[in-house]
Amino acid sequence: MATNDPFDPNVNIWDECGETSEASNRPDHFIDILQSPLERDSQEFLAKRAKEEDGPGVGVSRALESAVMRNVFGSDLNRRKFLKAVGSVAAYGILSQFIPFDSLRAMTEDAVKNIEKKKLKVGFVPITCATPIVAGHALGFYEKYGLDVEIIKTAGWAVSRDKCMNGEYDASHLLAPMPAAMSMGLGSAAQDWRMVTNVNTNGQAIVLANKHKDKRDPSKWKGMKFGVPFEYSMHNLLLRLYVSEHGIDPDKDIQIRVVPPPEMVANLRAENVDGYLAPDPFCQRAVYDGVGFIHMLTKELWDQHPCCCFGISQRFINENPNTFIALTSAILDATATAEKADQRVHFAEAMAPRNYLNQPSAILKQILTGVYPDGLGNIKKVPDRISFMPFPAQSMGMWILGQLRRWDYIKEDVDFAKISDNIFMSAEVEKRMNLMAEHNKNIKWTDIPDTKYPVYDIYGKKFDPTKINDYINNFTITRTNG
Amino acid sequence: MKYDRIITAALLSVGFFLLFLAVWHIGTYQEEHTVEAVELTSEQVAILEEAGMSASDKETYSSQGLTFDQINQIASMGLTLDDIEMAGGLEAFGFTTGGAAEEAKTGFPSPALVWEEAYYQLSDPFYDRGPNDKGIGTQLKYSLFRVGMGFFLAVIVAVPLGFLIGMSPLLNMALMPYIQILKPISPLAWLPVALFLIKDSEKASIFVIFVCSIWPMLINTSFGVANVKNDWLNIAKTLECSKFRTAYSVILPAAAPTIFTGMRISLSIAWLVIVAAEMVIGGIGVGYFVWNEWNGLNLASMIFAIFIIGIVGLCLDLTLGQFVKIFSYED
């Protein structure tokens, strides 16, 4: 996704109400007829600049130029009129006299040079949740921010955690509750990790084996075995929430076992589990392989729930602050692009090869476009089956911590707000997101809440983080009393 | 007579293999499914048109053999042919196939399919399409390196230690219980511990090879050393050989065949272990290759990889078998 060149009169670099850019809609074949010498020079100039697009740091320097142009002209219409009248070459010349674009560029190149560590290793588990991380590599988002990232496929979450803690990965695709669990030393040694952004929201489903087609009522699930990808996962917490709301005790009435995502379908086929709450593509894959059906999407439990995140250690942030900013920007840019409906097919195709998710592209397309068979003979159309909303809201952190407490993963009462504040980087990421949106009109965020603690509707219950204890104690099945 | 038997055995081997292929082929044989166009009644066409389906879409669907119910479902969702294409095409919805392809997808791959995969893989065994997709040759190289390292370390530790244990009945009795307890522990049980302690997945997998291949060598070496014929030791004694000379010129050659047999067992175990360890750790290696194909549920390349693992294991075993032959002697 190229940033728009602020010296191109035919593009809109920042949105203003009531302004449309008709010129940019002009079909290409008119250009030759309409072109004056002035325009031709401009075209060449712009083409030359467009070629620079691939270079490291250009995204940043275009953003800076856009910001300058905005201050000079006040409105996009003025900017375009001016560029059309004098031509892009002259405009650049005139403006350069007053504003040191070249040294600005040098400054941004410096910023790229200041990246402490260019070669990075980022881990991922091969699931569609990792779309921004994987497609970030496949579609060149990391290069755009001056980084040389190698993404390493990882077999499961426990190995991911260990490789993160061993320092083999500089950053990693993690499950949203994992940075908290790792920082608090739940199930491992304690090491400070941060939940930087959501790499996806929604995107999970409860899948049941075909033989349970008549067992759609969860209160009849006693004695069944379910797979979740990890203990400290939204999958585990959401499955527990779902069955317990139907009177099933997740610790006593059913068995929840940890199965790495890639092994889910094989286990379902072998009748090792009766169903699972797992990430895609392994939900749709069960349908594709004819071994299971989609009972429900987790979106129906909590719309826009967090799932997987981009995690990084506090130590890495301290040691490589500029790298951290560049990496976060690359991930945010990829996340924003993945959310666009017109990009979904492109992303699905980019992620299909062996090096990435190693799946038939048809399955990935079904998941990302949200048009899919559910295994019961129906076609469904749910465009936000998986969404890419990066903002790591404090309320998400609070809910996760609250549920970890509810199920006794956290053994004692703790200051949820304080822990969440430490781990979920909402303040820093909000700043970064706003900055990016300001400079790149292609990026629009819809998920930044007005308040620090937005209230969510989660499976019929209101979750207000400011009254978290009331919420936790409002469940009939709970482990808080030990 | 002897050559006759070899030839007969070889023919029988080939026969067994062909029989195996034939059973496999028949077991996985599937008739090709032909698509029959479906005729829609004018009433049905009217319903579809009412739902806003374009005539060309409707024709494509019916010529692909979709039933009216299926077409109607698509129409009522307001999906165009483009939408379906974008979502992976009709076949991915299991529509055009009437269930036959569904079986094909879940079914076991045919020998031809595995052969195709093998040909594809072996025609460019060292390709590199990024850190998570390298050719089978590269994967084997990494696995063999890990096995080699772990095995080499195990030899360095096990042979001298086994010598000591073999020469000292006291040490033997003191250490044997631990060796017997440690010997049967699965590599997969060691792996998380190794990862935690060593904090490096590469070294951890080498450690697991080391720890799993050390025991047979240790036990065999000590056994071989302890069971050197007393006559030979007595002769060495009467010739007033030094302890070191006895160990070097009498015990070592006498125990060599047993030691090499131990190494042979160890190497087979190491090769078993590496596949398991790499499946858990991931990254690169033949075990990772199997795991990566499992994650894509791509059975054909898994079977290909299984063959390769078997063949490489055989080669390793034959190599050490030669050593055993060289050092063996007759009384």
Give pLDDT tens digits for A377-412: 788 888 899 999 999 999 999 999 999 998 988 888
CA–CA gap between residue B232 and residue A359 (Å, rounded): 65
CB contact under 8 A, B88 and A262: no
How large is the ipTM? 0.72
Q: Is the model's pLDDT at A33 over the cut of 70?
A: no
Taking the C-alpha atoms of residue A131 and residue A331, their distance in angstroms, rounded to an integer, is 10
- Give yes or no for a cis peptide into A37 (omega within 30° of 0): no
- Which tens digits make up the pLDDT trace of A444-461? 888 888 888 899 999 988
Domains defined for chain B, CATH in brackets: 42-106 (no CATH), 136-327 (1.10.3720.10)
Mean pLDDT over B97-125 rounds to 71
SS3 of residue A152 by DSSP: strand
Distance CA B77, CA A370 (A): 12
Q: Is the pLDDT of residue A104 over 60?
A: no
Place of tokens 């075993």: B317
Q: How far apart are CA A412 and CA A419, in angstroms?
A: 13
Angle at B263 between CA B261 and CA B265, to 5 degrees: 70
Q: Look up residue B251 and give its amino acid.
A: I
Radius of gyration of chain B (CA): 31
How many Å from the N-terminal Cα to the C-terminal Cα in chain A? 52
Say which range, A13-17, A301-305, B52-56, B232-236, has the weakest mean pLDDT.
A13-17
Of 3.30.428.10, 3.40.190.10, 3.50.50.60, 3.40.50.150, which CATH number belongs to A204-300? 3.40.190.10
Supply A198's token pair.
Answer: 């959501």
Quick one: which of B31, B106, B309, B39 has its CA closest to A268? B106
Q: CA–CA separation, A384 vs A372, rounded Å?
A: 12
Given an 8 Å threshold on Cβ–Cβ distance, is A355 in contact with B133?
Answer: yes
Six token digits for residue A9: 């009169």
CA-nearest residue to A159 within chain B is B281
Report the C-alpha gap between B309 and B327 in whole angstroms.
28
Give residues 115 to 174 of B whose Cβ lies within 8 Å of A.
129-133
Alpha-carbon span A277 to A238, nearest angstrom: 8
**Rounded to an integer, what distance in angstroms lies between the CA atom of residue A258 and that of residue A239?**
12
Nearest to B93 among A159, A165, A379 (CB): A379
Q: Which residue of A has its CA nearest to B131?
A: A152
C-alpha to C-alpha distance for A229 and A156, rounded to whole angstroms: 8
pLDDT value of position B20: 92
**Chain B residue whose CA is closest to A380:** B77
CA geometry: angle B132, B137, B140, nearest 5 deg: 80
CB contact under 8 A, B93 and A266: no
Q: What is the DSSP letter of A306?
A: B
Q: Cβ of A265 and B195 within 8 Å?
A: no
Cα–Cα distance for residue pair B257/B262, rounded to 1 Å: 9
Segment A309-320 mean pLDDT = 90
What span, in angstroms and rounded, lies between the C-alpha atoms of A1 and B256? 67
Per-residue pLDDT tens digits for A105-145: 555 555 666 778 888 899 999 899 999 999 888 888 888 88
Q: Which of A150, A163, A365 sits opposite B131 (nearest CB)?
A: A150
Q: How confident is the model at residue A243 (pLDDT cuts 50, 70, 90)?
A: very high
pLDDT over 60 (residue A431): yes
Residue B324: predicted pLDDT: 81
Q: Which residues in chain B touch residue A288, judged by CB atoms under 8 angstroms apart?
A: 92, 94, 105
Cα–Cα distance for residue pair A300/B57, rounded to 1 Å: 32
Of A49-58, A215-224, B279-288, highest mean pLDDT: A215-224
Distance CA A405, CA A411 (A): 7
**pLDDT score, position A472:** 86
Q: Take residue A211 and report the two structure tokens written for it.
A: 């033989």
Record the tokens describing residue A191, joined without a space.
């090491």
In angstroms, the CA A62 to CA A101 distance is 10
CA-closest candidate to residue A62, choices A145, A138, A143: A145
C-alpha to C-alpha distance for A202 and A385, rounded to whole angstroms = 6
Strand partners, A256: A226
d(C-alpha A40, C-alpha A215), whole Å: 68
Mean pLDDT of B222-247: 83
Give the C-alpha separation, B60 to B40, whole Å. 12
How many contacts does A have with B, using Cβ atoms within 8 A? 126
Q: Do A363 and B74 touch (CB under 8 A)?
A: no
A254 Rama sector, left if φ>0, alpha if ψ -120 to 50, beta otherwise: beta
Q: How far apart, in whole angstroms, are the C-alpha atoms of residue A212 and residue A295?
A: 10
What residues of chain B lie within 8 A of the CB of A165, using their CB? 199
The whole-number pLDDT of residue B37 equals: 73
Q: What pLDDT shows up at residue A290?
A: 84
Nearest by Cα to A173 from A384, A334, A349: A334
B40: which 2 tokens? Answer: 């829609």
Q: Which residues does B142 contact at the CB level (< 8 Å), separation at least 6? A: B284, B285, B286
Average pLDDT, chain B: 83
Please give the distance of CA A275 from its chain centroid, rounded to a whole number: 26
Q: Which tokens sit at B110?
A: 């045919």
**C-beta separation of A334 from A139 below 8 A:** yes
Residues 6+ apart with CB under 8 A from A107: A64
Asked if A354 lies within 8 A of B131 by C-beta distance, the reply is: no
Question: Is the Cβ–Cβ distance between A182 and A165 less than 8 Å?
Answer: yes
User: Which pLDDT value is given to residue B155?
Assistant: 93
Contacts (Cβ under 8 Å, ≥6 apart) of B27:
B108
Assess whether the region A119-200+306-359+384-473 and the region A204-300 belong to the same CATH fold: yes
CA angle A332, A338, A343 (to 5 degrees): 140
Domain parsing of chain A, residue ranges: 23-113, 119-200+306-359+384-473, 204-300
pTM tops 0.95, yes or no: no
Partners of B282 on chain A (C-beta within 8 Å) are: 152-155, 159
Q: Number of helices (H) and strands (E), helices first, in chain B? A: 16, 0
- pLDDT for B149 beyond 90: yes
Contact A301, B117 (CB under 8 A): no
Closest CA to A238 of A481, A459, A15, A6: A459
DSSP string over A62-99: HHHHHHHHHHHHSSHHHHHHHHHHH-HHHHHHHHHHHS
Nearest neighbour of A289 by CB, restricted to B89, B132, B297: B297
Closest CA to B95 of B86, B84, B111: B84
For residues B251 and B228, what is the distance between their CA atoms, to the nearest angstrom? 6
The residue in chain B having the minimum alpha-carbon distance to the alpha carbon of residue A342 is B86
* Pairing of the two strands A148-153 and A371-373: unpaired
Q: How far apart are CA A246 and CA A228, in angstroms?
A: 19
Asked if B195 has any chain A CB less than 8 Å from its own CB, the reply is yes
Question: Which of the four pLDDT bands, split at 50, 70 and 90, describes residue B232?
Answer: confident
- CATH of region A119-200+306-359+384-473: 3.40.190.10
Which residues are within 8 A (CB) of B230 and not within 5 positions of it... i.e. 6 or more apart? none
Helix (H, G, I), strand (E, B) or coil at A456: strand
**Which has the closest alpha carbon to A23: A33, A37, A8?**
A8
- From B26's Cα to the closest Cα of chain A, the distance in A is 22
Tell me if A82 sits within 8 A of A91, measured CB to CB. Answer: yes
Average pLDDT of chain A is: 82
Q: Which of A154, A291, A371 sits opposite B83 (nearest CB)?
A: A371
What pLDDT band is residue B153 in, cutting at 50, 70 and 90?
very high
Shortest distance, CA A297 to any CA of chain B (angstroms): 18
Q: Which DSSP category does A384 fall into?
A: T
For residue A15, pLDDT over 60 is answered with no
Return the SS3 of A124: strand
Q: What is the pLDDT of residue A55?
A: 54
Q: Across-strand partners of A193? A: A313
Bridge partners of A197? A310
